[in-house]
Amino acid sequence: MNMRKILSSSLLAGGLLALLFRLAGRLLTARVVPEPGARTYEALDSYVEEQMRRLHIPGASLAVVEGDRIVHLRGFGRARPGGETPGPETPFFIGSLTKSITALAVMQLVEAGRVDLDAPVQRCLPWFRLADPGAAAQVTVRHLLNQTSGLPLWPSEVASADFDDRTGAVERQVRALATLKTGSPPGAKCEYSNFNYNILGLVIEAASGEAYADYLQKHIFEPLGMQHTFTSKAEAKRCGLAVGHRHWFSMPIPAPDLRVPAGSLPSGQLSSCAQDMARYLIAHLNGGRCGQAQILSPAGIAELHRGAADLEFMGVKTGRYGMGWFDTDLDGVRVYSHRGNVPDFSAFMALVPECRRGVVLLFNADPYGLPVVTEEVGMGAAALLAGRPPAPVRLDFIQWVMRLLPLIPLLQGVEALASLRALQRWRDDPQRRPRGGRLWGRHILLPLLPNLAMAGILAALQSSGMIRFFHLFMPDIAWTARISGGFGGIWAVVRTGLILRAAGKYSEPIE
């Protein structure tokens, strides 16, 4: 009897244990079943890692949002040489993603009745002037937001190398526009210019009565819980700012102490982290709301996103520009995006409203100083979010061009040695000296062309001030231009003199 009880109890206990193990197995299995978007995140992670390897980017931070949630955060590589992987709260400079934040601040003031989108900028800034007084009087706040003011691109890029860090740097830069000629009448066409958003920074100050940095902190960063977003590099460094890198001949070199152009703060000098920017994207996906904070009306958010004007770069259409956002069609899917580039960092953010997703990518290097490269990588990430394969990489040739830059001065040196050897042969054997058309065509004019071209490029870069821009964003090109252009100009004169002297030394006709 006791044995039966023991056997019965054992069987019952064994059955219960088996049932419990089975239930536990199901529960554990349920825990590790991937979420619906997990495969997308895995593909996105792999894509980012592949692009980092291809472009030699040391570190990156990624965030994905769906609806009103942050659903994926991931760090890659190193935040600093020999250091840690970037975390969700590691600050990076976000470059022109700043423009979207500036535009949001302006739209807040519009909804508060303090700014009129279609009023002349001179209503807020009576002292605003351009070389053409009539054009300055016609520029409106909307023109600035939509990049249709007529202010040109390249002078604003040169201004990014203005390291005036005294109080009032933005205003001094904008006042200096009094001598600037516009490229087109206000409203005629879209031309991307950092000047537009630097002016808007002053509009925010004039309309709110607060400093630009203080306004953003109080009305955007604090409501959205963006605790690791900064208007000062010093503050960002105290909170673990990643170390930026500049590419030299396609290889990333740390640039921890690069100066910041304070006069360009409203157009591209904020720093933030993946987690904070994810909160920012949630607000844009949800009609201005993130958590309990409503930072703008749904209508205001829609106006920010709406592409108002076609933007062209070197004759190629790059989408429609809204207010701090590019409005583009990605294989039939609407995408609102923006890239950001400073000399040592780059960034990209995108919203895909159709699937209520958003993505932000932060890099601690600026691939070759070219926004189009950042755009290509970012739109590939947006395509994955939209359930589409990334477009084939078209710009990979750029890094090979950068790697081959040292060949230019090297070839110049080879040509110089060859010329000196030819002169020596002519001295040793005057019978070998060329004459007539062969002398002028092959030995004087033809070699002059590449040397004069390099000297001309350097002269153009220096006269326009663009050499300062290249020193910041593409230091390898800048130094190649300086070395090859300087050598080319000097050698063109010296070589021609040597050839003519050698030719004139012997008067007898020699083939």
DSSP string, 142-199: HHHHTT-S---HHHHHHHTT----STTHHHHHHHGGGGPPPSS-TTS-B---HHHHHH
Whether 386 and 417 map to the same domain: the answer is no
Cα–Cα–Cα angle for 152, 154, 159, nearest 5°?
A: 100
State which of 400, 420, 453 marks the end of a domain: 400
**Predicted local distance difference test score (pLDDT) of residue 183:** 85
**Predicted local distance difference test score (pLDDT) of residue 499:** 85
Answer whether residue 16 is part of any domain.
no
- Residue-number span of the structural domain to which 498 is assigned: 405-505
Whether 411 and 384 map to the same domain: the answer is no
Any idea what the CATH number is for the domain that residue 185 is in?
3.40.710.10
- Cite the beta strand spans of 44-114 per DSSP E: 59-66, 69-77, 92-93
Reported as type and span, the H/E element at residue 448 is helix 446-464
Strand partners, 347: 340, 362
For 10-36, b/e burial (b = at least 16 CB within 10 A) is eeeeeeeeeeeeeeeeeeeeeeeeeee
Whether 271 and 415 map to the same domain: the answer is no
Whether 356 and 409 map to the same domain: the answer is no
**Predicted local distance difference test score (pLDDT) of residue 503:** 73
Answer whether residue 1 is part of any domain.
no
**Predicted local distance difference test score (pLDDT) of residue 442:** 79
Answer whether residue 31 is part of any domain.
no
Concatenating the DSSP letter of every residue in 449-463 gives: HHHHHHHHHHHHHHH
CB-CB contact of 361 with 322 (8 Å): no
**Predicted local distance difference test score (pLDDT) of residue 35:** 44
Whether 450 and 388 map to the same domain: the answer is no
Whether 164 and 255 map to the same domain: the answer is yes
Answer whether residue 26 is part of any domain.
no
Whether 119 and 68 map to the same domain: the answer is yes
Looking at residue 230, the DSSP 8-state letter turns out to be B
CB-CB contact of 454 with 405 (8 Å): no
* Block mean pLDDT (10 aa), the chain, length 511: 39 40 34 48 96 97 98 98 97 98 98 98 98 97 98 93 92 97 93 97 98 98 98 97 97 95 97 98 98 97 96 75 96 96 98 97 94 95 95 92 95 93 86 78 87 95 94 96 96 90 58 39
Looking at the structure of the chain, the number of domains it has is 2
Answer whether residue 8 is part of any domain.
no
Whether 390 and 428 map to the same domain: the answer is no
User: How many other C-beta atoms are found inside a 10 Å radius of the C-beta of residue 502?
Assistant: 19
Whether 378 and 233 map to the same domain: the answer is yes
Whether 414 and 305 map to the same domain: the answer is no
Whether 381 and 462 map to the same domain: the answer is no
State which of 380, 400, 420 marks the end of a domain: 400
- Taking the model in full, what pTM does it have? 0.88
Q: H helices within 165-293, ranges in order?
A: 169-175, 194-208, 212-216, 222-224, 233-238, 265-268, 274-285
Answer whether residue 349 is part of any domain.
yes
Whether 177 and 313 map to the same domain: the answer is yes
The model's pLDDT over 127-180, given as tens digits with 9 standing for 90+, comes to 999 999 999 999 999 999 999 999 999 999 999 999 998 999 999 999 999 999
Strands 59-66 and 357-363: antiparallel
Concatenating the DSSP letter of every residue in 461-487 gives: HHHHTHHHHHHHH-HHHHHHHHHHHHH
State which of 400, 435, 461 marks the end of a domain: 400
**Predicted local distance difference test score (pLDDT) of residue 313:** 66
CB-CB contact of 303 with 323 (8 Å): yes
Answer whether residue 239 is part of any domain.
yes
**Predicted local distance difference test score (pLDDT) of residue 11:** 38
Burial of residue 88 (CB within 10 Å: 0-12, 13-18, 19+) is middle
CA separation for the pair 64, 274 (Å, rounded): 9
The model's pLDDT over 269-310, given as tens digits with 9 standing for 90+, comes to 999 999 999 999 999 999 999 999 999 999 999 999 999 999
